């Protein structure tokens, strides 16, 4: 095996270990919250997943700008992989958020700024993935999807502002006054965040590699014909 494949494998193993540590930290190590009880433990998964989803869309945004500015297949592969993984994580954010909302606020859905922004973002990138599926020409597909990824990501802060003015009931754990968390809870949160970021990097690298292998297969197939 090549060094790159070894590195990928090592990263995957590391993310598995980190995830186990995160599960332990969230379910056993972190103290039970006084008001919400065990319910609060979903926070250790919900928030890191949300961070990774937004991070991933950010990576897609930067890679899309890179593609339009520099060109080259690699930028497009990264933008595509990041958008796809971001969509998966955004789905998880919405699902875990709904579970939390049901238990804490007694409703499956509220039109809160963060939930709604995530939903709008989810819709934008669903459109992005549909767009990618309906353009045959590689260069045109890369260019069109870069345009949509840039437009979609720039929309995030504006959507958030608009909905925030509209209504809000989301708990604010991190605000300008600092972190409103118990030290043990904070370390559990940070362990979980690290685990999800490592998992994200492993997924992104694997997905980009898969895309370039697909390119290679396509190239070889054309040569045989």
Partner 1 sequence: MSFLRTTWALVAKDLAVERRTRESLNVMFIFSVMVVVILNFAFELRVENVGQVAPGALWVAFAFAGVLGLNRSLARERENGCLEGLMLAPVDRNAIFVAKAAANLLFMAGAEAIVLPLFTVLFGVNVLRPDLLIVLLLGTLGLAAVGTLLAALAVHTRARDVLLPILLLPVSVPLLIAAAKATGGLLDGAGLAGVAGWLQLLGVYDAVFVAVSYLLFEYVLEE
For partner 1, which is the closer residue by CB, 147 or 190? 147
For partner 1, which is the closer residue by CB, 44 or 61? 61
> Quick check: 48 and 123 in contact, CB under 8 A?
no
Report, in Å, the least distance between residue 189 CB and partner 1. Answer: 30
- Verify binding: residue 30, partner 1, rule CB under 8 A: no
- Verify binding: residue 93, partner 1, rule CB under 8 A: no
- Verify binding: residue 62, partner 1, rule CB under 8 A: no
> Quick check: 181 and 47 in contact, CB under 8 A?
no
Residue 48 to residue 92: CA distance in whole angstroms: 11
- Verify binding: residue 70, partner 1, rule CB under 8 A: no
Return the CA Rg of the chain.
20
The secondary structure element, H or E, covering residue 179 is strand 178-179
Residues found in the chain = 225
Residue 112 to residue 171: CA distance in whole angstroms: 10
Nearest Cα residue to 216 out of 66, 73, 67: 73
Query: Among residues 120, 194, 201, 205, which is the contact residue for partner 1, using CB under 8 A?
Result: 120
Report, in Å, the least distance between residue 202 CB and partner 1. Answer: 29
Q: Which two tokens stand for residue 209?
A: 């590699």
- Verify binding: residue 147, partner 1, rule CB under 8 A: yes
- Verify binding: residue 214, partner 1, rule CB under 8 A: no
Report, in Å, the least distance between residue 225 CB and partner 1. Answer: 23
For partner 1, which is the closer residue by CB, 166 or 174? 166
Q: How many other β-carbons are positioned within 10 Å of the β-carbon of residue 58?
A: 14
- Verify binding: residue 59, partner 1, rule CB under 8 A: no
- Verify binding: residue 165, partner 1, rule CB under 8 A: yes
- Verify binding: residue 224, partner 1, rule CB under 8 A: no
Residue 110 to residue 202: CA distance in whole angstroms: 33
Residue 178 to residue 174: CA distance in whole angstroms: 6
Question: For binding to partner 1 (CB under 8 A), which residues are involved?
Answer: 68, 120, 123-124, 126-127, 130-131, 134-136, 140, 143-144, 146-148, 150-152, 154-155, 158-159, 161-163, 165-166
């Amino acid at each position: 095996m090549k060094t790159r494949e070894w590195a990928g494998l090592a990263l995957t193993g590391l993310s598995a270990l980190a995830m186990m540590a995160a599960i332990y930290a969230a379910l056993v190590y972190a103290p039970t919250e006084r008001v919400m009880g065990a319910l609060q433990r979903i926070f250790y998964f919900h928030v890191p997943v949300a961070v990774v989803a937004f991070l991933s869309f950010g990576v897609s945004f930067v890679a899309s700008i890179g593609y339009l500015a520099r060109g080259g297949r690699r930028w497009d592969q990264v933008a595509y992989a990041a958008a796809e993984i971001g969509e998966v994580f955004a789905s998880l954010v919405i699902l875990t958020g709904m579970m939390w909302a049901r238990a804490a606020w007694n409703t499956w859905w509220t039109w809160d700024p963060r939930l709604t922004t995530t939903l709008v973002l989810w819709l934008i990138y669903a459109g992005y993935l549909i767009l990618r599926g309906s353009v045959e020409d590689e260069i045109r597909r890369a260019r069109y999807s870069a345009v949509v990824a840039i437009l979609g990501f720039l929309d995030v802060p504006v959507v958030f502002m608009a909905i925030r003015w509209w209504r809000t009931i989301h708990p604010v754990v991190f605000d300008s006054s600092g972190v409103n968390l118990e030290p043990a809870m904070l370390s559990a949160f940070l362990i979980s965040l690290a685990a999800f970021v490592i998992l994200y990097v492993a997924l992104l690298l694997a997905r980009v590699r898969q895309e370039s292998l697909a390119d290679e297969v396509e190239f070889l197939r054309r040569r045989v014909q």
